[in-house]
Structure 1
């Protein structure tokens, strides 16, 4: 089997305790790789290297333009190796090769975006109210960043953290998920090849007790960027109380998709299929609460059912496959339990609803008709290919149902009425709203949520600012000595 080591301070190594874990291929259920696990001592070494390099002239004194050129080089390498990294990610996580390879290639544009911003971090001369003072601001790197990414959409979620952090001049300890870390460790080879100084980026993986907790509560960590579930996020926030690290959280969701009576039903059906069956439903922005106007409710169910007949469930490495396996067996079990509860509540399953009898963690794409907002599938984030639809009668009712959730990451609206599109999207309590489309991303567009979907934004201009601190410098331009030292100027 393939064995992966940790990448710490520019060196490949096994963990100090010799602990290892084994990864299964979700498509076959067979073991395929082993991974070194980081210990607290390994975490300390990675953070010490990250702290040291901030004072190393090779990184500290590198011009912002030169940092940008390293990021451009990294982007080129990512594109060059996108197919190979995509295949490894598919083998490790079960996600479709068609998506992992194309997504990996696309994230090169995220690094190019931040490469271009690297030398655009400007300060300002302030029009201060004291004529004998010259006062200006500058943006400086916030310091050591801990970036924690889950197994799904790894390259994308890493780019939204690593890109702005490196462009700002920070150093980063990247923790890959212990569930499927192989692509992150392959990616570390590209960081090394791009020419970043040793210690600027370390890539580790391991369990919570020995790796994640020591990382997020370490006194030398200045910034934490976490993507994952709300429960783990609460631990991260508690840990950050030990170091007062600036923290951003990108968490899960139960995203509403509103389909009005004037919507293009083919487009709405495609949007709901993309939002629920795309990535096998393993997406934090999955549109798992479909809210449909009662007058088109049955028609839309028929349209989705017809389109879903052509969905191919199978080997994620095959180009013809639309839905692959789920990453873990636990996800399959959770979905089956949630569907059973929904049926007890009176929900109707129009198709799917069962685990597919074949090796691996396969779940059939499933459509659930709900008659109550309390139906279990409308409340539980299952992380699998399950679509739930609920009828509504009025625009106000649709908005109220959409906002009736503790989450607030994404949302969707399907309507041909431009006024309604603006009106409804402005009232949805979510960080992202797609109108007549779904699951679109760009390095230019901020990504993040409200409420229990987290806080802070990744991607876009504001993300790079979150990896800097503002320093204000006062220069006395007068030849006269300081006045009374006991009176504030």
Structure 2
């Protein structure tokens, strides 16, 4: 285990209450969940175990805040200013937020700092989207009829977020939801709740009215289920596994409740023979080990033209050998820990299964003794499409190599999955690139880069990777209802005379 005296831990475990109706509250239960840093094995935060009663209080607060117009009735310019204030406060408290993220998730501090800075930028962008939201008018219905299409906020939104990017993923949703005029009840992962509670606190400091943002901490089967089942929650945004997303969709159907789902992925990276192999190797390794591979859009299937497979393999191994793993509070470290002992064992299990299935182990293949709950970056070759390592989402720093000879074969391999979240294409040939962009089934496609972009671009998946879109103007429209209005401007022609 890492010597904890070498890192700057807070002196005491940081304790949080629920944040409901604009204030901290003890909630209905005094039970706590204490979170240990996965990289250091020390207690860092403690949250309350929320109950259905806490969800009831949070939903009622959000419902009242929406219905009385304290948020939905504000001019968009006022919502814009308040959201920008939140962005400023995120930047003010960036180091504290990054530290909480690193301690709870186990990711390197430099990564957390980048995510917090990026989240502040997203809040700034979403603020402007409050003023960009608009409807349509139809002046072509004849002299006696005028038509309007209005976009109205859908109401109370339940947001259920995962443990891998708790602050950044929330930033890809919450400010856009608020920009539309909706109110929110948020359930973060019980393992990584601190930064979500802090954003609720910062929003209150910025002047966002009480009841607009509510956070109930606790477990999915209790808190998450209560949010999904509540009849006063108009829509649910869920980010997480495909299995839980499927049950969220089924349960939401009881109330004909709209859902937005960003789920799992088994994402291909296609490398054509004409690619810049140095750039491709760097992008492939980044997509493989960023956040220790615990990223839904992580590139875990390397689909490489047979003519360049040997050369790319050498470049990949050289890159992987240079990855620094260690104390996540060291700015030089590139890769941190797996989130929990359960997930750590799961990743190691996938590695052992790949070995037993006959895949060739090129590097890694086990736990990393330099850091608690860490896995060595692991790359397999000589894999077959039907192997478990190519079918299921590992959620660790593990990737497999597949080869192809024709563009048709590459696209078939890329689409040989039930998922469709993201894909990477590496090529300098315009025809290869555009054909692959058009034909690969994925919600996000990167060309000669990976996991890049900005808040202007929509995110979401095809097939088993989810439904709906977040971010950009699409992420505001997602949380609105469309209303058609027909205005008769002339004397009515009687139906009965």
TM-score (norm 2): 0.94
Alignment of 1:27-426 (within 5 A): 27-358=39-370, 360-426=372-438
Q: Give yes or no for contact 1:220–1:243 (8 Å, CA) kept in 2.
A: no
* Offset from partner CA, 1:99-119 (integer Å, 9 cap, x none): 111111111221222211212
Q: CA deviation at 1:172?
A: 0.7
The answer to whether structure 1 residue 7 and structure 2 residue 19 are counterparts is: yes
- Corresponding position of 2:495: 484
- For residue 440 of structure 1, the aligned residue among 440, 446, 452 is 452
The answer to whether structure 1 residue 474 and structure 2 residue 486 are counterparts is: yes
Give structure 1 stretches of 5+ with no counterpart.
none
Inter-CA distance 481–392: structure 2 relative to 1 (3 Å threshold): closer
Q: Give yes or no for contact 1:175–1:203 (8 Å, CA) kept in 2.
A: yes
- Corresponding position of 2:3: none
Q: CA deviation at 1:130?
A: 4.5
Q: CA deviation at 1:481?
A: 5.6
Q: Distance in 2 between matches of 1:38 and 1:129?
A: 53
* SS of 2:420 mapped into structure 1: coil
Q: Give yes or no for contact 2:455–2:471 (8 Å, CA) kept in 1.
A: yes
Q: CA deviation at 1:475?
A: 2.9
Q: Give yes or no for contact 2:63–2:155 (8 Å, CA) kept in 1.
A: yes
Q: Distance in 2 between matches of 1:297 and 1:122?
A: 50
Q: Distance in 2 between matches of 1:389 and 1:301?
A: 9
Q: Distance in 2 between matches of 1:369 and 1:61?
A: 58
Inter-CA distance 481–373: structure 2 relative to 1 (3 Å threshold): closer
- Corresponding position of 1:456: 468
Q: Give yes or no for contact 2:362–2:379 (8 Å, CA) kept in 1.
A: yes
- Corresponding position of 2:5: none
Q: Give yes or no for contact 1:219–1:242 (8 Å, CA) kept in 2.
A: no
Q: Distance in 2 between matches of 1:378 and 1:195?
A: 48
Q: Distance in 2 between matches of 1:440 and 1:457?
A: 17
* Offset from partner CA, 1:92-146 (integer Å, 9 cap, x none): 1101111111111111221222211212222232225353233323221110011
* SS of 2:35 mapped into structure 1: strand
Give structure 2 stretches of 5+ with no counterpart.
1-12
Q: CA deviation at 1:222?
A: 0.9
Q: Give yes or no for contact 2:325–2:370 (8 Å, CA) kept in 1.
A: no
TM-score (norm 1): 0.96
Aligned pair count? 485
- Corresponding position of 2:6: none
Q: Distance in 1 between matches of 2:280 and 2:496?
A: 69
Q: Distance in 2 between matches of 1:289 and 1:177?
A: 27
* Offset from partner CA, 1:44-79 (integer Å, 9 cap, x none): 110101110113343243111111111111111112
Inter-CA distance 295–60: structure 2 relative to 1 (3 Å threshold): closer
Q: CA deviation at 1:80?
A: 1.8
Q: CA deviation at 1:359?
A: 5.8
* SS of 1:327 mapped into structure 2: coil
